[in-house]
Every structure is written in structure tokens, then in C-alpha cells.
Amino acid sequence: MRQWQTKTGRLMNRQQLDKIAWETIHARPLPKGKPRGVAYVNRPANYKELADLIAMGVESEIAWSEFLHEFVLYRQVGFFAYPPPDSFSPEYGALLAGAAEFLCQEFDLPVPIWVHYPQFTLDELWEPEEWMFPEDAEFRKRRIQKAHPLFLKHNVIFESRNLITL
């Protein structure tokens, strides 16, 4: 297992680093009030606003990053009040359903019922990063082993560490 050396000289693996990152997020004090959303701070506060931001021309990766930053700041179930809109591909919808389910469980929030709707589970296993190594069976196997079960339940190969935003 690969390890990284911290500034203090301690060697740590990804699991240890991820644990520290999640603990850091959990320890952050919550701001008072509700997220202000796209209209005020250009950060989506739910999947509907995420779609709106993308429709306004913001790249999906940037919009998703803004959504995650806002969620990590507020950590409220309202971020998942709306299912992914039909304007998203089935693959992206399944990925967002897995993210909603994971983040709700991680932060002891009620999991929205829509994550269990059949349209948010793909018929075949999908690898969002397969474009990097399209025919590499070993790459796919390693990615499946690292994928979180809540994403695999939706037939999406995705590591929960990709949701860490500090």
C-alpha cells in the first residue's frame, strides 16, 4: 500500500489521510441559517440549482465543486431535496444519487427516498474515469475494489474520497 510522508515525518496511507480529512470536515462548526444558493453566492444548494448553474454555462466540474463546498459548509439534508433533473445523463444521475446517499449517511442526515428510484441505478457498471484507460482490465478491477459500496449499489465506480472538500 502506497504511503505519504506528512510534514511531521509520519508515514500515512490514503485511508488514514481520508479519515483525518473526514474528521476535519465533521469538526467544522456549522454556520447559522440556510445556504443562500446560486442566486446569492453562485454556489448550488441542491441538485436543481446544480443543473441551473450548468445550464448558465458553468463547467459541470466547477459547478459540482461549488456544490460540494457549499454542502460541506452547511451539511443539511435540503441539498438533496430534489433528485437529479432529467437534463442530466443517467450516468450522472446515478453518480449524484450515490453521492447523496453517501453524504447523508456520513453526516447522519435522512437519506431521501428518491435515491432508491430505479432511474438512479444503471443497468451496467459505469466508470466515470474509464476514458483514461479505456481497455485496461486491471485499472477497472482496482477501481472497483476502491469504489464505495453505496456507489456500486447504483452501478457507479466511484471512490468516496472524491467527495472530500476542505
- Say what the pTM is: 0.90
Predicted pLDDT at 133: 65
Contacts of 74 (CB under 8 A, 6+ apart): 30, 31, 34, 35, 45
pLDDT (tens digit, 9 = 90+) per residue, 72-131?
Answer: 999 999 999 999 999 999 999 999 999 999 999 999 999 999 999 999 999 999 988 776
Q: Is the predicted pLDDT of residue 58 greater than 90, yes or no?
A: yes
Distance (Å, rounded) from C-alpha 96 to C-alpha 49?
13
| Domain spans in the chain, listed from the N-terminal domain onward | 37-163
Instruction: List the grid coordinates of 94.
Output: 446515478
34-68 in b/e form (b: 16+ CB < 10 A) is ebebbeeeebbbbbbbbbbbbeeebeeeebbebbb
Distance (Å, rounded) from C-alpha 78 to C-alpha 66?
16
